[in-house]
Amino acid sequence: MNQRKKKEPFQLSPAATLLWALMAASFCLVSTSNSLGIVIVNNLVTPVDRGVRHLFRFRKIVCRPQ
């Protein structure tokens, strides 16, 4: 009977493993910063923008020059 050698599992070199780890870390960092940017814009910038718009509308409607 002809016995085949078992193949060893595929292993990355240490440099390739480090590269994969860096790529995963950078992906997490970028996705976190994008999410944080969206949260900041939705909760800080947009309400201030709306408030300024309402202020100008109010002044335009109420404080019209006679």
The token duo for 50 is: 């709306």
From CA 33, how far away is CA 37, in angstroms rounded?
Answer: 6
Blockwise average pLDDT, block size 10, the chain, 66 residues: 73 90 96 93 87 81 69
pTM: 0.54
CA distances from 10 to 19, 20, 62 (A): 16, 15, 75
The tally of CA atoms less than 13 A away on the side-chain side of residue 8 is 2
